[in-house]
A and B are shown apart, each in its own frame.
Chain A
Amino acid sequence: MLETIDLTKYFNGTVALDRVTLRVEPGEIYCLLGANGAGKTTLINVFLNFLEPTAGEARINGLDVTRHALETKKFVAYIPEQVMLYGVLSGLENLGYFAALATGECLPRARLVELLATAGLDGGAADKRVSAYSKGMRQKVGIAIAMAKGARALLLDEPTAGLDPKAANEFSQLLRKAKDNGVAILTTTHDLFHAKQTGTRIGIMKQGRLVANLKGDEFSHTDLEQLYIQHMTDGMKP
C-alpha cells in the first residue's frame, strides 16, 4: 500500500534520505523511529509530493506519487504533528469544510458529529472555536477528517508528541481499530513505548538511512530501547 524504493533526497548537498526502502501493507502499523533530523518528516513530505525525490520512488497503492500526485492523495490521509485548522471556525465547521474538499460532497451535520465522536472529541467541544482547542483536540479533528475521507492509508507525523498518557492511549486504540479495518499506517515517532505497543513493524532511521527494520513482536520493550540507543550511538549496521 505504502512503498518506497531506494528513495533518496538531497538538500543542498546534505543527504536527507539515503536509499530508503520500506513497505507498509494494509493492516500494518509501521512505526518509524529516529532522532530529529533523521529524515522522518522528509519521508512523509515525499509521500505527499510536497518534496520531489532526487532518486528512487515513493508509491501509494502502486502509483508513483510524483506522476499521480492528485490520485495518490485520495488514498492517503495525513495528520501532521500540529494539526492546523481555521481558528475562527468551530471543530465541526472545520471538519465539514475539509471533508467536503476531500470527498467532493457536503456531509450532513449528523454524520460530522458521529465522526467527531468516533475520533474521541468531546461532544460539547465540537461547536467551539478551534482557537480554543488543545493539541489533542485538534488532532482528533484531524483523525475525523481522515475517517471522513475513508483513506486506505494513514501518514502520521509524531502523533503522540505532547499528548498525556491517557490521550496517547486513546490514540493508540484508534490506530488499532483502523489497522483492523485494513488501513496501512505509517507513523513517525520518538515514543518507543507507543511504537512497541502498536507497531506491527518498527524501523529505525539515522541520518537518512533505514538502519533497522524489525517485526514488533520479536522483542520486548527493554530490548527495543537498548537496540535504539545502540543504533544511535555507534551506527550499527542491520
Chain B
Amino acid sequence: MAILLILTSMAVGWQRQREASAEQQAAQELDYRDWLNQDIRHPHDAAHQGMHVFKPAPTLSIVDPGISRYAGTTVWLQAHRQSDLKFRPAQDATGLQRFGDFSAAWVLQILVPLLVIVFGFNAFAGEREQGTLRQTLSLGVPAWRLLWGKALALGAIIGTLLIPAVIAAGFAVVLGAETGGRADAMIRLAWAAAGYAVYFGIIIYLVLGVSALTPSSRVSLIALIAFWIGTAVLAPRAASDLARRLHPTPAKKDFLAKMETDLSAEAERIWQEKFGVKAKWSPDLPLNKWGIALRVDDQLGYAVYRRHYDALWDTYERQQRVQEWAGLVVPLLALRSFSMGLAGTDFAHHRHFTEAAEEHRHLIQDLMSEDLVKHADTLDHQHFAYQAGKDLWKTVPQFQYRLPAAGWALRRNWPGLAVLTAGLILSFAFSAAAVSRLRVVQG
C-alpha cells in the first residue's frame, strides 16, 4: 500500500513536472522574443516592459516537493520595483493535486515509521509473552546479538518494501534531468537516501528499545503509537510555532509598508543630495540629467530592497535552523529540512533563484539607463525624442539560470545530517540499555 502511494505520487509528480517544464520553456522563449521584437522606443519604456522569468523545478522535487507548492514560480522583472514571485501551484490545484499531497517524502517520513512500529512493537515484549524469549535467553545468547538481529530484520523488511520506490526514483532522475544535471541529481538522491536510512535506523532502534522496556506488548504498542502521533502531527506544528516565536517575521502588509517608507525617505535624501530637488522626478530636474537620475534612483532602490528582503529571508533561515535543532528531540524535523534541502525545494534554493532573478533585473535596468546617459542626456531638451531599437534590446541576454549544485546544498544541510546521526547514536544507546535490562521473570 505504501509503495503504491509512493510510486503513484512520483508518477503524478513527474507528469506534472514535465508539463510545467515544457510550458515554462515555451513561455520563456516567447517572452524573450517579445523583448527582442519591441518597436523602436525610448529605452525606459522597454525597462518598464521588462521580462518574465520562470523558476525551473529541480528533478528531485517529485520525491520531495518541499515548499514548491507554496512558493511562486514566475517573477516579473520590471522597472523601479522588485516584485514577488507569482503563481503558486497550490492556487491552481486541480483534483489530482490532492493525490500529490501524499508525496513520496511524506510516505517515507510519516508512514514508514508506522510500518516499523507495526512490525516491531512486539519484538521483545511479544517474545516474552509467547515464552520464546525464555528459551532464547537460556541459550546464553548475548542481548546485543538479539538486538542486532532484530534491527537487521526490521531494516530488511523496510528495505525490501522500498526497493521498488528507490529504483523508480533513480529512473525518474536519469530520465528527467537534463544531461548536465543528471550526475548532480544522482548525488543529491544518494545523500538524501543516506539521510532517510539514518532516520529509519533511529526509528528501528527506538521501536526495539521500547519493546524491550515495556512490560507487555500492548503497552509497547500504545507507547509507540502515541510517540508517532506526537512526532507526525504535533511536533511539526509545535516546532514551527516555536521558530516563529523565536524569530518572528512581519506581516506582509507591514513589511511592504515599512519598505515603502524607507524607500521614500532614502529617495528624498539622495535626490536632494545629488540633484538638489525636493521630490522625485520634480519638474525642476533638468532633462539632461534624466538618464543619470534614473540610474541613481534604481541604485538606491536596489540597496533598500536588498536590505529589507535580506532581513526577511535571513529570519526565515533562522526559523529553519530552530527546526533543525529541534530535530535532536524529534528526528522527523531534522529529516524534513535535510530532505527538502537536498531535493532542492527548500527556502534556500528559492532564495537563490530570487536573488539571481533580481540580479538580472539590475542588469536590464542598468543597461537601459547606461544607454540613456550616453545617448539621451546629451540631447538635452530632446531627451525624450531619443529612441533605441533592436541593437540595444539584443545587448540584454536571456535569463540563464542554473540550479545550485549538490555541493552547495550539502554545505548548507550537513547540520541536519549531523543531528540525525547524533539521533541514531542516542537511539541505539537507548535500545542497547533497554535490552541489557531484559527480564524474563518479574523480581
- Once the chains are docked, how many angstroms separate the CA of A71 from the CA of B140? 7
Q: Are A84 and B130 in contact (CB under 8 A)?
A: yes
Closest-by-CB residue of A relative to B130 is A84
Residue A59 at the chain B interface, CB threshold 8 Å:
no
> Known: A82-B131, A84-B131. Is A149-B439 also a contact (CB below 8 A)?
no
Q: Are A73 and B140 in contact (CB under 8 A)?
A: yes
Q: Are A84 and B140 in contact (CB under 8 A)?
A: no
Q: Are B443 and A102 in contact (CB under 8 A)?
A: no
> Known: A50-B134, A84-B134. Is A101-B441 also a contact (CB below 8 A)?
no
Which residues of A lie under 8 Å from residue B140 when comparing CB positions?
69-74, 102
Q: Quote the shortest CB–CB distance from A147 to chain B (angstroms).
A: 13
- Once the chains are docked, how many angstroms separate the CA of A153 from the CA of B132? 21
Q: Are A73 and B139 in contact (CB under 8 A)?
A: yes
Residue A132 at the chain B interface, CB threshold 8 Å:
no
- Once the chains are docked, how many angstroms separate the CA of A45 from the CA of B141? 16
Q: Quote the shortest CB–CB distance from B83 to chain A (angstroms).
A: 65
Interface residues of A in 76-108 (CB under 8 A from B): 76-78, 80, 82-86, 98, 101-102
> Contact residue range for chain B?
10 to 19
Interface residues of B in 130-160 (CB under 8 A from A): 130-132, 134-142
Residue A48 at the chain B interface, CB threshold 8 Å:
yes
Closest-by-CB residue of A relative to B439 is A50
Q: Are B139 and A101 in contact (CB under 8 A)?
A: yes
Residue B440 at the chain A interface, CB threshold 8 Å:
yes
Which residues of A lie under 8 Å from residue B132 when comparing CB positions?
84-86
- Once the chains are docked, how many angstroms separate the CA of A238 from the CA of B33? 112
Residue A51 at the chain B interface, CB threshold 8 Å:
yes
Closest-by-CB residue of A relative to B440 is A50
Q: Quote the shortest CB–CB distance from A87 to chain B (angstroms).
A: 8
Q: A101 contacts which of B131, B141, B440 (Cβ < 8 Å)?
A: B141
Q: Are A98 and B135 in contact (CB under 8 A)?
A: yes
Which residues of B lie under 8 Å from residue A86 when comparing CB positions?
132
- Once the chains are docked, how many angstroms separate the CA of A102 from the CA of B135? 10
Which residues of B lie under 8 Å from residue A101 when comparing CB positions?
136, 139, 141
Q: Quote the shortest CB–CB distance from A127 to chain B (angstroms).
A: 20
- Once the chains are docked, how many angstroms separate the CA of A69 from the CA of B443? 17
Which residues of A lie under 8 Å from residue B134 when comparing CB positions?
50, 78, 80, 84
- Once the chains are docked, how many angstroms separate the CA of A163 from the CA of B138? 23
Q: Quote the shortest CB–CB distance from A143 to chain B (angstroms).
A: 13
Q: Quote the shortest CB–CB distance from B233 to chain A (angstroms).
A: 35
- Once the chains are docked, how many angstroms separate the CA of A83 from the CA of B132? 8
Closest-by-CB residue of B relative to A80 is B134
- Once the chains are docked, how many angstroms separate the CA of A21 from the CA of B139? 25
Q: Quote the shortest CB–CB distance from A9 to chain B (angstroms).
A: 8
Q: Are B139 and A98 in contact (CB under 8 A)?
A: yes
Which residues of A lie under 8 Å from residue B439 when comparing CB positions?
50
Q: Quote the shortest CB–CB distance from B125 to chain A (angstroms).
A: 15
Q: Quote the shortest CB–CB distance from B128 to chain A (angstroms).
A: 10
Interface residues of B in 198-234 (CB under 8 A from A): none
Q: Are A48 and B138 in contact (CB under 8 A)?
A: yes
Which residues of B lie under 8 Å from residue A76 when comparing CB positions?
138
Closest-by-CB residue of B relative to A85 is B132
- Once the chains are docked, how many angstroms separate the CA of A106 from the CA of B424? 32
Q: Are B443 and A51 in contact (CB under 8 A)?
A: yes
- 19 pairs, A vs B, C-beta closer than 8 Å: A48-B137, A48-B138, A50-B134, A71-B140, A72-B140, A73-B138, A73-B139, A76-B138, A78-B135, A78-B138, A80-B134, A80-B135, A82-B131, A84-B131, A85-B135, A101-B136, A101-B139, A102-B141, A142-B135
**11 other A-B residue contacts (CB within 8 Å) besides A11-B443, A69-B140, A85-B132:** A50-B440, A50-B441, A51-B443, A72-B140, A73-B140, A77-B138, A80-B131, A82-B131, A85-B135, A101-B139, A149-B139
B contact residues vs A (CB 8 Å cutoff): 130-132, 134-142, 439-441, 443
Give the top 7 A-B pairs by smallest Cβ distance, nearest first.
Answer: A84-B131, A73-B140, A78-B138, A102-B139, A50-B441, A50-B440, A74-B140
